[in-house]
């Protein structure tokens, strides 16, 4: 299997006349979609922390590792690609889950929040004409230790932005690493 870190955009897709860059542009250009925005948010947090040394694993129990801390990254936005008549309610999934072990190909018996820390990423722009996930000034980040989530929201599966603001304050991309380092 090809390692995504070593995948060259100019690599030919044999028999098609296309290359990997063609595929990326076709399939992964609309970052506002929920799934790609989430992956992009993981990438942003990883770049802020300098922790993109391993390729992303789909369905892992956490998204990043930084200074031996497992980090779960969640994303939300007011504007959705399907352009509703109103803004989306901002909420994030914080539900406990079984951890999947890629070595044993099995799930753990216990259900819990498997990361040590959560970073909630909000694409905060509300103007559909201006929203641009590639503009880092349109994002704000909320960092919470899992112990805090467990203390205040143990059984909750989701958390609203207003409830999140009761336990943490937003920070910018530029301050994200310092906030996380301060919690370590």
Sign of CA dihedral 134, 88, 41, 18: negative
Q: What's the confidence (pLDDT) of residue 101? A: 78
Q: Does the structure show a pLDDT above 70 at 122?
A: yes
User: Per the domain annotation, does 11 fall within a domain?
Assistant: no
How far apart CA 109 and CA 99 sit, in angstroms, is: 8
At residue 59 the predicted structure's pLDDT band, cuts being 50, 70 and 90, is: low
Q: What's the structural domain count of the chain?
A: 1
User: Per the domain annotation, does 100 fall within a domain?
Assistant: yes
User: Per the domain annotation, does 140 fall within a domain?
Assistant: yes
Q: For strands 69-77 and 64-66, give the pairing.
A: antiparallel
User: Per the domain annotation, does 49 fall within a domain?
Assistant: yes
Other Cβ atoms within 10 Å of 78 Cβ, number: 19
Q: Does the structure show a pLDDT above 80 at 55?
A: no
At residue 5 the predicted structure's pLDDT band, cuts being 50, 70 and 90, is: low
At residue 132 the predicted structure's pLDDT band, cuts being 50, 70 and 90, is: very high
Q: What domain range is 60 assigned to? A: 31-183
**Mean predicted lDDT score pLDDT of the chain:** 89
User: Per the domain annotation, does 10 fall within a domain?
Assistant: no
Q: CA nearest 122: which of 65, 180, 169, 77?
A: 77
Whether the model clears a pTM of 0.85, i.e. scores above it, the answer is: yes
User: Per the domain annotation, does 133 fall within a domain?
Assistant: yes
Q: What's the confidence (pLDDT) of residue 104? A: 83
The DSSP 8-state label assigned to residue 89 in this structure reads P
User: Per the domain annotation, does 124 fall within a domain?
Assistant: yes
């Amino acid at each position: 299997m090809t390692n995504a870190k070593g995948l060259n955009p100019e690599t030919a897709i044999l028999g098609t006349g296309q290359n990997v860059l063609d595929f990326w542009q076709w399939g992964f250009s609309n970052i506002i979609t929920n799934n790609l925005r989430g992956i992009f948010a993981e990438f942003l947090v990883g770049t802020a922390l300098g922790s993109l040394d391993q390729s992303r694993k789909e369905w892992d129990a956490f998204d990043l590792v930084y200074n031996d801390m497992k980090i779960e990254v969640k994303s939300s936005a007011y504007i959705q690609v399907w352009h509703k008549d109103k803004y989306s309610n901002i909420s994030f999934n914080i539900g406990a889950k079984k951890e999947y072990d890629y070595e044993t190909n099995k799930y753990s018996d216990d259900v819990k929040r498997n990361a040590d820390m959560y970073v909630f990423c909000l694409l905060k722009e509300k103007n559909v004409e201006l929203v641009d996930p590639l503009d880092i000034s349109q994002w704000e980040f909320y960092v919470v230790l899992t112990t805090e989530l467990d203390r205040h929201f143990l059984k909750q599966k989701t958390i609203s932005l207003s409830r999140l603001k009761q336990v943490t304050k937003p920070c910018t991309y530029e301050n994200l690493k310092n906030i996380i380092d301060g919690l370590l």
